[in-house]
Structure 1
Amino acid sequence: MLRILFFVLLILVLGGGFAWLADRPGDLTVTFAGMRYEVTLMVAATAIVAVIAAVMLVWWLLKSIISSPYALRRHFRARKRDRGYQSLSTGLIAAGAGDAEAAHRMTKQAGKLLNVDQEPLIKLLEAQTAMLEGRTGDARTMFEAMLDDPETRLLGLRGLYLEAQHAGARDAAQHYADEASKLAPHVEWASSAVLGRLSAEGDWDEALKLLDARKAGQQVDKNAAKKERAALLTAKAIATFDSDPAAAKTAALEANKLAPDLVPAAVIAARALFRQDDLRKGSKILETAWKNSPHPDIAEAYIHARPGDSAFDRLKRARHLFALRSNNPEASLALAHAALDAGEYAQARENAEAVLRMAPRESAYLLLADIEEAQTGDQGRVRQWLSRAVKAPRDPAWTADGFVSEKWAPVSPVTGRLNAFEWKVPVEQLAPVIDVEDEVRGPEPEAPKLPAVIEQEPEKRAEPQPAKDAKDNVIVTPVSQGEPKPDRSTAKPAGDKADGDKADGEEANMLVVDDPGVAPEEKTESKQARFRLF
């Protein structure tokens, strides 16, 4: 663009100069070698401009002729380089697509057209091709050769790390991750692997240093950075809670300040305050966290804030939590547990049934089994609640990358990702929601099992005879056709729809008599047991 402007400006200057000379006629006289030459001023100016243009043209021709060999060499070299980069690009695409044959062919072609020492991508293509062809030893050798070049050192460490992981050499993989983390702390794969190892070893101070170094080397989201630091501080507080309560309190309070919505941070901060008899501040932290996200760990820490409290005092605190989030399954479940411990069975049953209406889950059915065991001791009803718990949707749990844990952890044990655990229902344990209609009235007691009856042809069926099952102690008395059918409520509890519909066949003509061998006084003593399926 500048050249064009300069050319236009030169034309304008020349045009203006010739116009100025045309308006002012004159003669130019030159005496040379005894000869006198006289021309007009316009002709002299034109001759001068023509001579200058001719000199410039001759100079350009001479320069082009002299530099033509170099230009040709440069042209062919650029063409060769372009072909080499085209082969390299095609080879990398083939390696990414898993085409080992095309990748191998393009590797050879790129090696001929490009300088291997000056183009690191050729080394990468060779290593990728070796991995596709199953030559792991050659690939490892190529990655090790990359360690000598500062430009490819990180790439070589990455390749060796993946190869070690593929071979199951965890120590070697961790070594390469450590080296890469020292070289580039901001690299995600290296820092995540090192954080996972430090977390497994419980070296939280080094993990915090690595986290700070990773943040300094890259632009990160401030909110995400706060949550990651809060997760490590929470883990440190949990680990040092028994050995160093003061340090645990400092770390937990900082974690709770950085991430108020992190449930483990709020719980450990409150526990640290409770240990120092600061019940008011600890309860306030738990109440704030409970309002944001109700969680059973928060309820457990809040209700058992004072170890010396009676069951009624704990029930009072549970009622306060319920008042903060009344329409929530976790609130109803916590209140039901506290009411059961205090012997308030009606309130416990009411809240457990409320959980079934809001969000049916396994723990609610198990809790109803506990209530039934403690209140009535009816083993039939207890077994029915337990059977429904088996089919019920599972409770939420701490889940990270498909791994389910009973306790929260700062990093994922699968990928090493920081702050990966979430409180949710595990995907592999999702179950269809059970229809809870009519279940809030409670299950009906099981009827005694009848002995198997083999049906025969109507004309060959023998006369029914009284029979007694020795195992179940049940007497079955046949009813004659002329007698009216007995009321089915004597054989089955009222409200059992599944069994009440069986009015046809042999079972409709039988009367179940209570076992005379079991006395009412021998009922099993009720105990407040806790049922768990897993």
Structure 2
Amino acid sequence: MLLWSVLKIIIFLTVVVAAAFGVGYLLETESMLLITVAGREFALTPLSGVIAAVLLLLLVYVALKLLGLLVATIRFLNGDETAISRYFNRRAERKGYQALSEGMLALASGEGRLAIRKAERAEGYLKRPELTNLLVAQAAEMAGDTAKATETYKRLLADDTTRFVGIRGLMKQKLDAGDTDTALKLAEKAFALRPQHHEVQDTLLTLQAGHEDWAGARKTLAAKLKSGALPRDVHKRRDAVLALADARDALAEGKIDTASKEATEANRLSPDLVPAAVMAARMAIQDGKPKIATRVIRKAWDASPHPDLAAAFASIEPEETPAARIKRFRVLLAKHPADPEVKLLEAELHIAAEDYAAARKALGDLPETAPTARSLTIMAAIERGEGSEDRVVRGWLAKAVTASRGPQWTCENCGHVHATWQPVCEHCDSFDTLAWAEAPQSESAFAGTAQMLPLIVGALEDRRDDPEIEDPEPEVVDAAPVEETPAEVTEDMAEENDPHAPGHVLPDMGEVSNDAETSEPARTAAN
């Protein structure tokens, strides 16, 4: 700044010296300037000629100004009410736009307070609140002045041209403050004004899903598809998720027909969506349509094996023997034979039939190459069934306690692990981000309940209910910790065993609950 000031002083002195030198030169010149106008001659000295030229330029400037005023007056008389005021305010307008541009540059550089001052100055010159208020609001947010930002956004609501901007600004403020109820109402208003605005669509969809407004969310999703903001395959997947969530709520309210309809629709839209296939299959089983349930499960299984699909497939024939169950499951086991889930399922089926050699063969090297709580627990059951010493069984169970839980419903956005599938992540509120994947060990080692050989539960129940069997206490236990196991964590895992956890293939999943009576066979088997 100091250098620039010095430079300006030097330039000014140079101009003054040059002007003085020029005037002195003109005074010393003896030549005359002759000008002829209408037959009359005018003799002017060089200095007089220069002065006359300056006066002529000034006269032309005044004439142009008067001409501009005349044009503005004619426009005013023709109906342009602001023509004369614009004529007189051009200088102020230039200053206003200059202040506005400086304010925008200050905002871009992170100087919130300076941007507010420039915007207020621009408003004094321009009287254009639709331009300056937005700059003031954004600068106030940057400066941390929430009250001023809110006040400015509310002023924007008064003008039709800026109402959407005001509503959007207030909506973002409510979201930052955690007031999702008010934010949802504002998002709905913003969506009504600009239904094709992508950001508003996404915000409204997230808020509607968080408030379990599934019908409204499906309308918003349809608007996203119509506006071209969403690929058709993604739309079908997310529409299926919303339909499934609606079916769950309907089932909880006792609306069986609605639940069945929405579950079927969800499965139609996305056949590989495991929770939709499971619910559609169970609704078909309740309606006495086992063939439809089988078709739904097999189609989803072809896309990706999943323990919940196996559980639903087992519930189609809850009273079958272990041998019959193995035979019926062959259609699933034949698909993806190298998949770990298929190997685990086949091992569980053979354990339920007390064929431990076949179970060990089916399990393969999973306990060594991909050890999880489930595979290690199955290995412990195989060792116990083959008569191995308790220390061997306890060794496998001890490994299972600290091993990875294997694939779980994990949020792809925040990594949070869920016990069951949900349409919205309960940790970060993201919509349709849950995937069946293995979470990091630090998050999943002790998350959820243990998965303790669910197939055995059905087999043991059948054996205990059979009057011809003298000893109701089966020799082969499921993967629950044995009584001699010293690890308290293992005992807790057995006590918290949930029949509905992924991987449990019970005879009748539709009637299993977590009460003490239902859990008794599993506890008896563990002893």
**TM-score of the pair, normalised by structure 2:** 0.62
2:336 — aligned with what? 325
Verify: 1:266 aligned to 2:277, yes or no.
Answer: yes
Q: Report the counterpart of residue 257 of structure 2 in structure 1.
A: 246
Change (3 A) 1:79 1:138: closer
After superposition, residues 183-198 of structure 1 pair within 5 angstroms as 183-187=193-197, 190-192=200-202, 194-196=204-206, 198=208
AA of the residue aligned to 2:222: D
Summarize the Cα distance change of 1:356–1:103 in structure 2 as closer, same or farther, 3 Å threshold.
Answer: farther
- Paired residue for 1:151, among 146, 161, 169? 161
Deviations 1:196-223 (A, max 9, x none): 5554565433433343345445543212
* 8 Å contact from structure 2 (residues 350, 356) kept in 1: yes
1:379 is displaced (CA, Å) by 3.4
Q: 2:237 corresponds to which letter in structure 1?
A: K
Structure 2 counterpart of 1:227, one-letter code: R
- Structure 1 gap ranges (5+): 1-59, 433-523
SS in 1 for 2:420: coil
Residue 528 of structure 1 corresponds to 478
Q: Are residue 411 (structure 1) and residue 431 (structure 2) matched? A: no
The reply on whether 1:67 has 2:76 as its aligned counterpart is: no
Q: Find the counterpart in structure 2 of residue 483 from structure 1.
A: none
* Contact kept in structure 1, 2:115 and 2:139, CA below 8 Å: yes
2:350·2:358 contact (CA, 8 Å) conserved in 1? yes
Structure 1 match to 2:437: 424
How do 1:54-133 and structure 2 match up within 5 A? 66-68=66-68, 76=91, 79-80=94-95, 82-94=97-109, 97=110, 99-119=111-131, 122-133=132-143
Task: Give yes or no for contact 1:349–1:368 (8 Å, CA) kept in 2.
Answer: yes
Supply the distance in 2 between the matched residues of 1:421 and 1:86 (Cα, whole angstroms): 46
CA-based RMSD: 3.6
Q: What residue number does 1:487 align with?
A: none
Q: Which residue of 2 aligns with 1:11?
A: none
Give the superposition deviation at 1:330.
0.8
Structure 1 residues 187, 77: closer, same or farther in 2, change over 3 A?
Answer: same
Counterparts of 1:16-415 in structure 2, within 5 Å, are 66-68=66-68, 76=91, 79-80=94-95, 82-94=97-109, 97=110, 99-119=111-131, 122-187=132-197, 190-192=200-202, 194-196=204-206, 198-199=208-209, 202-216=212-226, 219-241=229-251, 243-356=254-367, 359-376=370-387, 378-400=389-411, 401-402=413-414, 403-413=416-426
Higher relative contact order (CA 8 A, sep 6+): 2
Aligned-pair distance for 1:364? 1.2
Looking at structure 2, the residues matched to 146 and 427 of structure 1 have their Cα atoms a distance apart, in angstroms, of 48
Aligned partner letter, 1:419:
D
| Partner amino acid, structure 2, of 1:150 | D
**2:395 partner SS:** helix
**How far apart in 2 are the matches of 1:262 and 1:288?**
10
Deviation at residue 176 of structure 1 after TM alignment = 2.8
Contact kept in structure 2, 1:332 and 1:352, CA below 8 Å:
yes
Specify the SS of the correspondent of 1:306: coil
Amino acid paired to 2:157 = L
Contact in 2 for aligned 1:264/1:408 (Cα 8 Å): yes
1:421: how far off? 1.8
Pair 1:84–1:104, CA change in 2 (3 A): closer
Stretches of 4+ aligned residues off by more than 6 angstroms? 60-63, 70-75
The Cα of 1:329 is off from its aligned counterpart by 0.4
Contact 1:337 1:367 in 2 (8 A): yes
Structure 2: gaps of 5 or more residues: 1-59, 73-86, 446-473, 482-489, 497-527
Percent identity over the alignment is: 29
* Structure-1 separation of matches of 2:360 and 2:398: 18
Matches within 5 A, 1:507-526: none
Structure that is richer in helix per residue: 2
- Distance apart, 1:295 and its partner CA: 1.7
Distance 1:63 1:199, change over 3 A: same
Q: Deviations over 1:114-134 (max 9, x none)?
A: 434242xx2222223323333
Distance (Å, rounded) in 2 between the aligned partners of 1:66 and 1:193: 56
Counterpart secondary structure, 2:433:
coil
2:130/2:156 contact within 8 Å kept: no
Q: How far, CA to CA, are the matches of 1:90 and 1:346 in structure 2?
A: 76
Amino acid corresponding to residue 324 of structure 1 in structure 2: K
Q: Deviations over 1:360-407 (max 9, x none)?
A: 323211222343445437432233223323443341222222132122
Structure exhibiting the larger radius of gyration computed from Cα positions: 1
Which segment drifts farther, 186-195 or 138-147?
186-195
**Secondary structure of the residue that 2:183 maps to in structure 1?**
helix
Structure 1 residue 240, shift from structure 2 partner:
3.3
How many residue pairs get matched? Answer: 379
Q: Which residue of 2 aligns with 1:505?
A: none
